[in-house]
Structures are given as structure tokens and as C-alpha cells.
Amino acid sequence: MFKKAKAFAEKGNYIAQYFLWTFFNEIGSPKEQIGNALEWLERSAEANYWAAQFTLAWIYYNEKFISRNQQKSEFWAKKALPKLIKSAHENDADSQFGMALFYTFGLAVDRNLDSAKKWNSRAIKNGHGEALKFSQILEEEFEEQLNNK
């Protein structure tokens, strides 16, 4: 499957390019291979695939694989936002969770914990496992916000 996906990716198929990123990420690639994985992800994002754009925004924001780059994070977040919103309204749990992250951390939108909580709740209702775990973080953010007032 990997060889076929790579062949499609090399021909410019943005879904195959995103798949390669996912493949490298899921298997826990060594650091020296992350550059290759990010290259496929960037190609997919440049082809206007919103899931890749969202993923890049998050990667540049949270420093999981590379140094934090707020400018690149905002660039990709703004590119992803219109389709992310559309998919979230169509009850896509991943997109709803993405909206919760965007509102929690202020990516391409103003930081708004009420909106983050709303989207996270929708994601939970649609079966998103990470959203359930994230609800605890949101509660801590709410408490911190209340204590700082």
C-alpha cells in the first residue's frame, strides 16, 4: 500500500501526500524521516487540502516535530478555517475537535473558551475520543480564566 500511495503522491495526489504524512506519523518515524513526512504534508497543504493545512497549523503551533513558528501556524490556520468550519457544521467530529483547538488557542480566530467548549462538546457527541480527553484541559482553562478576573 505504501508504494502505491507514494506513486500517487509523486504524481501530485494530495490525498496520497497526506496519507504519507499520516503513515510516517503513525509509525513514529525517527527524527531524520520527519523532514520527509513534513515535505509530503506541505505538498498536500499547498494543494489546498484543508486537513493538511490544519495539521501544519497545529504542528507549527505546538512544536511537536519542529520549532514553533507562529507566523506559519497562523498562515495555515487561516487557509484551513473556511473548510474546517464547513465540515464542523456538517457534523464531522474531527473538524469539530479542530474548531475546539482553534478557539482554545486562538488559531485564525479570537480565543474564545465558550466556543471551544461548544465545539468540543459536539465532537464528543460525535464520538471523538481525543475531544473527551481534551474536555479536562478546557475545564482547567476555564478555571484559570475565572481566577485571573
Which pLDDT belongs to residue 29? Answer: 55
Secondary structure tally for the chain: helices H, strands E: 8, 0
Displacement of CA 49 from its chain's centroid (Å): 12
Q: In which element (H, E) is residue 73 found?
A: helix 70-89
- Reported as a single tens digit per residue, the pLDDT across 55-103 is 999 989 986 667 788 999 999 999 999 999 999 999 999 999 999 999 9
Strands (E), the chain: none
pLDDT of residue 106: 93
Looking at residue 53, its amino acid is Q
Residue 27 backbone dihedrals phi, psi, to 5 degrees: -80, -5
Query: In the numeric block, which cell numbers belong to residue 6?
Result: 507514494
Answer for the pair 18, 52: CB distance below 8 angstroms, yes or no: yes
Residue 32 in this model has a pLDDT that exceeds 80: no
In this predicted model, what pLDDT tens digit does every residue of 4-30 receive, in sequence order?
A: 888 999 999 999 998 888 887 776 655
